[in-house]
Amino acid sequence: MISKAMLIQNMEAMKKLIPYLFVLITGCLLATGCEQPSLTTQEQDNTSELQELKLDKSAPDKEKLRELYHSAKSKRKITGDIAHYQLDVRLGSGPFDVVRIHRVVKERRPYRPIRTRSSVFMVHGSGQGFTDIFLNAGTENPDPETSSPYYLASKDIDVWGIDLAWNFVPKETDDFSFAKDWGVIKDVKHTLASMSIARFLRGLTGQGFGRMNLLGFSYGGGIVYAAAGLETQQPRFFRDIKGIIPVDFSLKLDNEKWRQLACDISGRNRIDYENGAYFNSNNLIISLGEAALNAPNEPSTILPVPFPLTNYQAPLFIALNPRPVTGWHFLGGKLDIKNSIFETYHTEPQRWFSLLSSVPAGMPKLPGIELGEARCGEKEVSIDDHLKDITVPILYLGSTGAEGEEGYYTTTLTSSRDITTHTVRGSKPGKEDYGHADLFMADNAPEMVWSKLEDWLFEQEKGHRGPSISLRK
């Protein structure tokens, strides 16, 4: 047992050790198979029952840890020989400082995972959760063909992930003062604390206590770089990250047009923030998805555009319409408004509608501003302070219709000597090419995307260290 004196001796170390102490005393929820109801956004008022597991204070006493154990909730679902677990943990005293930790793993018998070949911890994008973009990805019954966690688990990989705390903000919330100082670093600390818990649970279920690979999609890519950079300032013994996988995200830009666009957008958002707009709502997105599912042929009254669209067409316009300057789009396909062509090439429209209808109520505004300012490069921000100190192996995955090869540049600003890149290209170039969300929703994503991640994870497990590579011709 770790003594309190040891914890007080090193404040930074405590941030890692407290989750470990929590798991030691409370036992392995995933091994014992507790099947209590999981936390939902509607139950947020009851989260006061979860005892606070502070990241920057002295360790809580054993009684509080026991209370945390009894009030924490886990849930197990089984699909074939693959199980999905959930565990809700309070990581602060704020009204929404509760994260949900997920595990998807193949089992040899109930509550007994196989000896996995590798592991990955997944962080979702902005305005999303683990379930809607990774686990379900627009399907009701995920399996290895439709869900990246199930695919990886079927290949004997231990998959973990997080719903960042802002996922649990109810739709009816009207006071967003709690989000004023909620920036990237808060999400980073929640991610690292959750990784510590995941590592210990892995050890107690026969997987060893070794470090894990950290994957981040879109906004999660910013979390990945910031977390890996922050860990370089900690003793090696307390680091959780084995390798990083930024997916379709660039923390720094060398394309001047893209950089200037980041400056413009973050500047406008900063003004809104300073005028009291602390939270970005997903209400419009959710309404688009629900209308497409429930009344697809009715005229859309949700999207403010100067031309008529049906409820079916409106969310596809959002998905297929390329952004100015970058050509960035969510889904690859053909958009011809004049001739009423709204065709997706890789992802089924119904999956896109389901995704939109299932996202959380929104997220704090500050994280997007901070990442935009980091991409702009004209303001001093802290999240990229230790980018050059990152030495762990890196796999960058991108889509040609979104960040694509622009994401290569950030990897070159690290000190990693093991960099692998893969950009997914569809059959048609330009604005019809593979899009941002196609990476986790496309019919051919298992072959085009997830198999590349699988191969890299296995290579890293073998201890492979490739030479540094040139990413620019």
pLDDT digits (tens, 9 = 90+) for 325-346: 999 999 999 999 999 999 999 9
∠15-20-23 over CA atoms, to 5°? 135
| Domain boundary residue, one of 324, 343, 358 | 358
Residues 86 and 188 in one domain: yes
Residues 102 and 206 in one domain: yes
For each of the chain's 473 residues, which pLDDT tens digit applies? 333 333 334 334 434 433 433 333 233 333 323 333 333 434 444 444 444 555 544 334 445 444 443 333 356 788 889 999 988 888 888 889 999 999 999 999 888 899 999 999 999 999 999 999 999 999 999 999 999 999 999 999 999 999 999 999 999 999 999 999 999 999 999 999 999 988 888 888 889 889 999 999 999 999 999 999 999 999 998 899 999 999 999 999 999 999 999 999 999 999 999 999 999 999 999 999 999 999 999 999 999 888 999 999 999 999 999 999 999 999 999 999 999 999 999 999 999 999 999 999 999 999 999 999 999 999 999 999 999 999 999 999 999 999 999 999 999 999 999 999 999 988 777 778 999 999 999 999 999 999 999 999 999 988 644 433 333 22
Q: Is 160 a member of any domain?
A: yes
In contact, 461 and 212? CB cutoff 8 Å: no
Residues 56 and 168 in one domain: yes
In contact, 79 and 106? CB cutoff 8 Å: no
Q: Tokens 């102490």 correspond to what residue?
A: 21
Q: Is 224 a member of any domain?
A: no
Residues 48 and 137 in one domain: yes
**Residue 45: other Cβ atoms inside 10 A:** 9
Q: Is 454 a member of any domain?
A: no
At position 400, the amino acid (one-letter code) is T
Q: What are phi and psi of 74, to 5 degrees?
A: -130, 155
| Domain boundary residue, one of 329, 358, 387 | 358
Residues 166 and 305 in one domain: no
The pTM of this model reads 0.86
Residues 182 and 75 in one domain: yes
| Domain boundary residue, one of 210, 245, 273 | 210
Tokens representing 73 are: 């909730």
Tokens representing 422 are: 């893969």
Q: Alpha-carbon distance 115 to 113, whole Å?
A: 7
Q: What pLDDT, on the 0 to 100 scale, is given for residue 90?
A: 85
Residues 307 and 170 in one domain: no
How are beta strands 333-336 and 341-344 bridged, if at all? Answer: antiparallel
What is the dihedral angle through the alpha carbons of 301, 306, 307, 309, rounded to the nearest 10 degrees?
Answer: -30
Residues 289 and 204 in one domain: no
**Cα–Cα separations (whole angstroms), residue 49 to 21, 86, 144, 176, 217:** 20, 17, 36, 22, 32
Count of domains in the chain? 2
Closest CA to 161 of 112, 238, 94, 213: 213
Q: Is 322 a member of any domain?
A: yes
**Residue 462: other Cβ atoms inside 10 A:** 9
Residues 205 and 89 in one domain: yes
Q: Alpha-carbon distance 177 to 191, whole Å?
A: 22
Query: How many whole angstroms from its chain centre is CA 329?
Result: 19
Residues 34 and 166 in one domain: yes
∠36-204-194 over CA atoms, to 5°? 65
Q: What pLDDT, on the 0 to 100 scale, is given for residue 421?
A: 97
Q: What pLDDT, on the 0 to 100 scale, is given for residue 359?
A: 97
Q: What pLDDT, on the 0 to 100 scale, is given for residue 78?
A: 85
Q: Is 41 a member of any domain?
A: yes
> What sign results for the dihedral spanned by CA atoms 444, 445, 449, 452?
negative
Instruction: Tell me the helix, strand and coil percentages in the chain, rounded to 5.
Output: 40, 20, 40
Query: How many whole angstroms from its chain centre is CA 171?
Result: 21
Per-residue pLDDT of 85-116, as tens digits, reads 988 888 888 889 999 999 999 999 888 899 99
Q: Alpha-carbon distance 217 to 128, whole Å?
A: 10
Query: How many whole angstroms from its chain centre is CA 79?
Result: 23
Q: Domain residues for 121?
A: 4-210
Q: Is 125 a member of any domain?
A: yes
Residues 6+ apart with CB under 8 A from 403: 248, 249, 250, 328, 436
How are beta strands 82-90 and 74-79 bridged, if at all? Answer: antiparallel
Closest CA to 470 of 424, 405, 426: 405
Q: Alpha-carbon distance 96 to 164, whole Å?
A: 10
Q: Is 298 a member of any domain?
A: yes
Q: What pLDDT, on the 0 to 100 scale, is given for residue 463?
A: 64
Residues 65 and 182 in one domain: yes
Q: Is 128 a member of any domain?
A: yes
Alpha-carbon Rg for the chain in angstroms: 21
